[in-house]
Amino acid sequence: MELNQVIEERMSIRAFKKDPVPRELIKEVLQRAMHAPSAINLQPWEFTVVLGEEKERLSRLLLRSYGERRISCAPGATGPLPAKLGQRGGTSFEDLKSYLDELGLSFEEFINEGSCKFYDAPVAIIICMNKIFSHRRYLCIGAALGYLVLTAHSLGLGTCPIGLITAYEVEIRDFLHIPDDKEIVLGIALGYPDWSSPINKFKTTREPLEEVLRWFD
């Protein structure tokens, strides 16, 4: 598959088949992700892969924690979003709603609870980073994430990055025995896409390049 095709086709998958993903295939995805650039070659990423019954137990734990604390998905901004930025997210939510209506699900039920159970994907990947690193190293994690999701797509797998789980870091840390000196940065759902699900027809749009580009000649 050509790189341009992978980049243009990749999308967040929110319905997965139950088929297990071979361990060697998961390792191939992560091995390629580690080719991402990082400042001074620090390679600050660490991966915890959760499979099978342990993944189901983790999902049940997160769903229970969500039910108790009701922390929801949020834009991650320090204040109200400018109108232009808010419109981008609002348009995506409106587009998603028609697919959720087809499934008979509410936005909260699907996005929040779905995030907590990794959208029923057979594989959950937790990305961590040593707390000794500056938050600037999130950029390195982002680069590795980009390589990871593109590699997965090229191999016939689907992914969905999930930030909500970091709100339940204490529970995840305890369950997976993650040391206190590691920060839980992100979760990723990984598996074979279920293309029969209406929700996988939803693909977010992108702004015209002119909206985010400035030239100085």
Of 209, 188, 215, 169, the closest CA to residue 127 belongs to 188
3-state secondary structure of 86: helix
Supply the pLDDT for residue 98. 82
Instruction: Read off the amino acid at residue 45.
Output: W
3-state secondary structure of 111: helix
In this structure, are residues 175 and 3 in contact, taking their beta carbons and an 8 Å threshold?
no
More confident residue, 28 or 198: 28
Residue 156 is assigned to a structural domain of this protein: yes
Q: What's the pLDDT tens digit per position in 119-139? A: 999 999 999 999 999 999 999
Q: What is the pTM of this model?
A: 0.92
Residue 81 has pLDDT above 70, yes or no: no
Residue 85 has pLDDT above 70, yes or no: no
Residue 77 is assigned to a structural domain of this protein: no
Residue 206 is assigned to a structural domain of this protein: no
State how many domains the chain has: 1
Residue 35 is assigned to a structural domain of this protein: yes
The residues that bridge with 161 in the sheet, in sequence order, are: 188
Residue 211 is assigned to a structural domain of this protein: no
Residue 89 has pLDDT above 70, yes or no: no
Q: At what angle do helices 23-33 and 138-154 cross, to 10 degrees?
A: 130
In this structure, are residues 118 and 104 in contact, taking their beta carbons and an 8 Å threshold?
no
Residue 75 has pLDDT above 70, yes or no: no
> Can you tell me the distance from the alpha carbon of 72 to that of 7, in angstroms, rounded to the nearest whole number?
29
Q: What is the DSSP string of 139-185?
A: HHHHHHHHHHHHHHHHTT-EEEEE-GGGGGHHHHHHHHT--TTEEEE
In this structure, are residues 184 and 126 in contact, taking their beta carbons and an 8 Å threshold?
yes
Residue 210 is assigned to a structural domain of this protein: no
CA diameter of the chain: 58
Residue 77 has pLDDT above 60, yes or no: no
More confident residue, 64 or 104: 64
Residue 40 is assigned to a structural domain of this protein: yes
More confident residue, 206 or 45: 45
Sequence-distant (6+) residues with CB within 8 A of 203 are 11
Confidence of residue 209 (pLDDT cuts 50, 70, 90): very high
Confidence of residue 74 (pLDDT cuts 50, 70, 90): low
Q: What's the pLDDT tens digit per position in 1-12? A: 899 999 999 999
What is the domain range of residue 112? 3-70+82-199
Q: What's the pLDDT tens digit per position in 143-180? A: 999 999 999 999 999 999 999 999 999 999 999 999 99
The CATH number covering residue 139 comes to 3.40.109.10
Residue 205 is assigned to a structural domain of this protein: no
Sequence-distant (6+) residues with CB within 8 A of 16 are 119, 120, 121, 122, 158, 189, 191, 192, 193, 194
Residue 93 has pLDDT above 80, yes or no: no
Supply the pLDDT for residue 129. 98
Confidence of residue 15 (pLDDT cuts 50, 70, 90): very high
Q: What's the pLDDT tens digit per position in 172-202? A: 999 999 999 999 999 999 999 999 999 999 9
DSSP letter at 18? S
